[in-house]
């Protein structure tokens, strides 16, 4: 596989469930991102990891918990979510130090919280 992959592509969960989203990049990048995309709203940056270290946490509720075991893998652990958390969750990666700062995105996980 090439590029940035995300699993699952679709997820339906109840408010009491615990689930995890997975992202994997095959580009040799060293920075990874989680974004939330809601309909007709700008992309919301949630977390940033550089060289496996978390460098940004944009006031995200603790019911979202990221994990970055190495520079190729990124997880988002979900627990006791709310219906308003339903959205498309996008993972992106970047080669830190690139002047253009271009981010490459995965296809996203469409999350529905019942």
Partner 1 sequence: GQNIDQPTEMTATEGAIVQINCTYQTSGFNGLFWYQQHAGEAPTFLSYNVLDGLEEKGRFSSFLSRSKGYSYLLLKELQMKDSASYLCAVGNSNYQLIWGAGTKLIIKP
In the range 12-71, which residues lie near partner 1 by CB under 8 A?
40-43, 45, 48, 56
Please provide residue 39's backbone torsions phi and psi, each rounded to the nearest 5 degrees.
-55, 130
Compute how many residues bind partner 1; rule: CB under 8 A. Answer: 19
Of 16 and 84, the one with the shorter C-beta distance to partner 1 is: 84
Of 75 and 105, the one with the shorter C-beta distance to partner 1 is: 105
| Radius of gyration from C-alpha coordinates of the chain | 13
Q: Is 100 an interacting residue with respect to partner 1 (CB under 8 A)?
A: yes
Q: How far is the CB of 4 from partner 1 (least distance, A)?
A: 7
User: Measured between alpha carbons, how far is 94 from 31 in angstroms, rounded to an integer?
Assistant: 5
Q: How far is the CB of 99 from partner 1 (least distance, A)?
A: 8
Q: Which residues contact 8 (CB under 8 A, 6 or more apart)?
A: 21, 109
The closest alpha carbon to 4, from 93, 88, 98, 100, belongs to 93
Interface residues with partner 1 (CB under 8 A) are 4, 40-43, 45, 48, 56, 90, 100-108, 110
């Amino acid at each position: 596989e090439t590029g940035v992959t995300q699993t699952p592509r679709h997820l339906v969960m109840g408010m009491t469930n615990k689930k995890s989203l997975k992202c994997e990049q095959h580009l040799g990048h060293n920075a990874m991102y989680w974004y939330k995309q809601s309909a007709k709203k700008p992309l919301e940056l949630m977390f940033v990891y550089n060289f496996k270290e978390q460098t940004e946490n944009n006031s995200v509720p603790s019911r979202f918990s990221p994990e970055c075991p190495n520079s190729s893998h990124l997880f988002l652990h979900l627990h006791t979510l709310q219906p308003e958390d339903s959205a498309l969750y996008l993972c992106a990666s970047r080669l830190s130090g690139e002047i253009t700062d271009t981010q490459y995105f995965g296809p996203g996980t469409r999350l529905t919280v019942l």
